[in-house]
Amino acid sequence: MTGKHIELFLVEGVPGGITTAEIAGQTGHVLAGPRSDLGDVLRRPEAKRNGAYFLLGDDEEAVGGVRCYIGRTENFINRFRDHSAKKEFWDRVVLITAKDDSFTEGHWGYLEWRLVELAKQAARVTLANGNDPQGRRLSEAQASDMEAFLEQLQIVLPVLGVNAIRVRAQAAPAQASKDASPVFSLTNAKLKVEATAQQFGDEFTVLRGSRIVGAWCGRLDRGGGRRRRAHAGRAVQVAVLGGGHRAGSLVQRPHRVEARRRAVIRRLGEPRGGVRPRLL
């Protein structure tokens, strides 16, 4: 049985407001809310504990359209008073605590380091951290506890719409599971495009080793221009990672897209009416 029982509570009874989340029977607790409700967030008992946190804000120029800061603190109230004065980009916050207050400063230092490490590995957001946190040395048993805590967070945070540490699934051979997605293929000899993609959970992912167009070459002044500009920036970011040219840029890490037709449009770099990827 692989199901997970996640308890969500809408504090104000409306989506998008202050929300708490936890996995039933586990020690981790997550509190999320908009910056406009920061005062109410900090008046809650969770904010009296020590813990780690995310600051998140929409940014069209950022990876995945999100800028993110990851930190830890022993005093959320003082820390967020400072962030409110000095950091402008964020519009929502996520506090991570332990219900039984069993974690020390060393535990949270280890967690902060691992959260930043996973965010870099996932490459779904642009990190606003100026410096990389230094990991705290824990005993083997303590490190094991924190890794189990991280596994909880990797389940709970995406439920709240926070994908910063959601590491992409590795492509598995189709024969490894009868439920595995088929592999889709997209080719265009003129543009030197030769890409493959596969469905992993709820995500359609362009696979490592695919060659795509590294820059948007369609018109941006028609309907949906803002959306295309955002897509173009992300396509260029993938091309830069691959160190490729405008045509035939090499994808060196899996890259998530929102839908199959958008995958076709963005890999070719321009609108293509009626084009669909084909099964291999």
20 and 129 inside one domain: yes
105 and 138 inside one domain: yes
Reported for 13-19, long-range contacts at CB under 8 A and 24+ positions apart, including other chains, are 18/44, 19/160
Does the pTM exceed 0.75? no
Instruction: Report how many domains make up the chain.
Output: 2
Residue 274 within a domain? yes
Residue 169 within a domain? no
267 and 241 inside one domain: yes
75 and 155 inside one domain: yes
For position 175, what pLDDT does the model report? 43
For position 251, what pLDDT does the model report? 57
pLDDT tens, 53-73? 999 999 999 998 999 999 999
Residue 164 within a domain? no
98 and 203 inside one domain: no
Please check whether residue 44 is in contact with residue 77, taking contact to mean a CB–CB distance below 8 angstroms.
Answer: no
Calculate the average pLDDT of the chain.
78
**Helix (H), strand (E), coil (C) string for 24-39:** CCCCEEEEEEEHHHHH
Question: Is the model's pLDDT at 242 over the cut of 50?
Answer: no
Residue 168 within a domain? no
Residue 142 within a domain? yes
Residue 167 within a domain? no
Cα–Cα distance measured from residue 33 to residue 48, given in angstroms and rounded to the nearest whole number: 16
Range of the domain at 107: 6-159
Residue 211: closest CA among 244, 170, 259 = 244
133 and 178 inside one domain: no
104 and 195 inside one domain: no
pLDDT tens, 21-31? 998 888 899 99
Q: How confident is the model at residue 2 (pLDDT cuts 50, 70, 90)?
A: confident
Residue 165 within a domain? no
22 and 154 inside one domain: yes
User: How many of the other CB atoms lie within 10 Å of CB of 248?
Assistant: 17
pLDDT tens, 139-180? 999 999 999 999 999 999 999 999 999 987 654 444 445 567
Q: What's the rounded mean pLDDT across residues 252-256?
A: 57
Cα–Cα distance measured from residue 197 to residue 206, given in angstroms and rounded to the nearest whole number: 4
Q: What's the rounded mean pLDDT across residues 248-264?
A: 53
With a pLDDT cut of 70, the percent of the chain lying above it is 70
48 and 135 inside one domain: yes
Residue appearing with tokens 């941006």: 220
34 and 82 inside one domain: yes
Q: How confident is the model at residue 99 (pLDDT cuts 50, 70, 90)?
A: confident
Q: How confident is the model at residue 183 (pLDDT cuts 50, 70, 90)?
A: confident
Question: Is the model's pLDDT at 217 over the cut of 90?
Answer: no
103's CB contacts (< 8 A; 6+ apart) are 50, 51, 111
Q: How confident is the model at residue 113 (pLDDT cuts 50, 70, 90)?
A: very high
Of 159, 187, 222, at which residue does a domain stop? 159
155 and 185 inside one domain: no
Packed helices 140-159 and 105-122: angle between N→C axes, nearest 10 degrees: 50
253 and 124 inside one domain: no
**259 vs 105, residue with greater confidence:** 105
Please check whether residue 22 is in contact with residue 30, taking contact to mean a CB–CB distance below 8 angstroms.
Answer: yes
